[in-house]
Amino acid sequence: MSWYLQAMKKYADFGGRARRKEYWMFILFNIIILIALIAIEAAAGGAGILAVLYNFGVIIPNLAVTTRRLHDTDRSGWYILISLVPLVNLVLLFFLCQDSAPGANRFGANPKV
């Protein structure tokens, strides 16, 4: 849970680097929260508006942590635009799964150290 909170504390921080663990734990907790919200709303007979509102609330933190993750692999955050093209967005997934660039890069010091 601390990885999720750490990403949320850096709500709109698009600078620096984020480790794979920080990124993927943020994504995991987002999925868990969304499933819980959908289940609660379904049990209450709602239309799923809570999950939609939550998704809108985490758009900026999601973009920020994704940008920092790309910075960790020594790529620009503009690579997020790749995800807008069907099938090519698998390239972005590949980049997000890669290990950190060793040592410091143009985006800062290696967060693993």
Tell me whether residue 63 is in a domain: yes
pLDDT bin (cut points 50, 70, 90) of residue 41 is: very high
**91 located within any domain:** yes
In a domain, 80, yes or no: yes
Residue 88 lies in a domain: yes
pLDDT in tens, 48-69: 799 999 999 999 999 999 999 9
Find how far residue 29's CA is from the centre of its chain.
10
Looking at the chain, list the stretches that DSSP marks H as alpha helix, in order from N- to C-terminal side. Answer: 2-9, 20-44, 49-57, 59-72, 89-97
The tally of domains found in the chain comes to 1
Domain containing 17 equals: 2-97
The answer to whether residue 15 sits within a structural domain is: yes
For residue range 89-103, list pLDDT tens digits in order: 888 889 999 999 888
What's the mean pLDDT when you consider all of the chain? 90
Which pLDDT score is estimated for 91? 87
